[in-house]
Amino acid sequence: MSKTVELPRWIDVGALPLLNLLLALVVSGLVVLAIGENPVQVVEILLYGAFGYEEAWGYTLYYTTNFIFTGLAFAVAFHCGLFNIGAEGQAYIGGLGVTLAALYLDFLPFPIMLVVAMLAAMIFGAAWAYIPAYLQARRGSHVVITTIMFNFIASSLMVYLLVNVLRPEGSMTPESEQIAEHLRLPFIHDIAAALGIDMASSPLNLSFVYAIVISVMVWLFIWHTRWGYAIRTVGANAVAATYAGLEPGRFIIIAMMISGALSSFVALNEVMGVQHRLLIDFTAGYGFVGIAVALMGRNHPFGIFLAALLFGMLYQGGAELSFEIPTISNDMVVVIQGLVILFTGAMEHMFRPRVTKIYTAWRLRQDAGEAA
């Protein structure tokens, strides 16, 4: 029987995602060549559009913020062996919680309102995730199916509420009233201006700082608490967890509710930070991209941050690309983003058998040499 050596962390977390990303970029380059454009020029414009000037940095980090929240949400569920595809709907319902709190408790001062809005988002998002979690834990309904269904239910529910309940009287636009100005998250460029620093205007707001704090908290929770250890144990082997005295169903529900709460924080960025009102489809696919972000980041908060930054770059740089090169339309940019998701998410293990074989052969030769 051939011996297999476990890959070291730097290969599993670093080299393999980079290989997948490199292949995605190569295939994207071939697509660009097929339409008669220069791939090198496309990369230059993409990077400049994402990082070439202050405003670009702001937009890139604004997109990154949403991807951090949804990536963390998927990762927590994944550590419990769950594939939560419902972040989109959970973020949507979380937005409803933030909006209701901001509209009906607008007499509160901003510091208190911020805490209330966060709690409202968490409660609404976690409650929306609870139902699929309960069905998985107690009734055996697969969480992938139920979370997909709940995305559609959330979308339909929000359309109904925005058209028939929350829409201001006399308005034809399906959106809520704007939240009070004193309850809005401050933009980073406004904070910088208050400190005497000149910075270009962008949608980047205080929720980016909050996303970094939440990333640290998730890392502490998953790897340095008993509950986090229990979640990872259930995810690794539910039968062994049961023999160890853990109830898998309980931790499935806990992990999914935490995942729903994390997804809902997208609403802080979008509703309180940028749009200042509840809009139809404000989630804009962030929940689905968060799956690829988490998988590429190996479900670790630091890796998720780097992957979120990559997709933030693709979103912002792609907008610049479609503006500078007319032949590369928004649809073509979506194709490039889809290729990155395909190779870094759906096909993340494509190189693993070959890399494992090469590394195992190298280690066996090293061990044989030391023994001699």
pLDDT, tens digit (0-9, with 9 covering 90-100), for 267-293: 999 999 999 999 998 998 899 999 989
Packed helices 54-79 and 39-51: angle between N→C axes, nearest 10 degrees = 90
Residue 3: is its pLDDT beyond 70?
Answer: no
> In percent, how much of the chain has pLDDT > 70?
98
Q: Where are the domains of the chain?
A: 1-37+325-372, 56-323
pTM: 0.91
Q: How many CB atoms lie within 10 A of CB 353?
A: 10
In this predicted model, what pLDDT tens digit does every residue of 54-94 receive, in sequence order? Answer: 999 999 999 999 999 999 999 999 999 999 999 999 999 99
pLDDT, residue 1, reads: 43
pLDDT, residue 2, reads: 56
> In percent, how much of the chain has pLDDT > 90?
61
Phi-psi region of 338 (alpha: psi -120 to 50; beta: other; left: phi over 0): alpha
pLDDT, residue 348, reads: 66
Single-letter amino acid code for the residue at 323: F
| Fold (CATH) for 56-323 | ABC transporter involved in vitamin B12 uptake, BtuC (1.10.3470)
DSSP state of 282: T
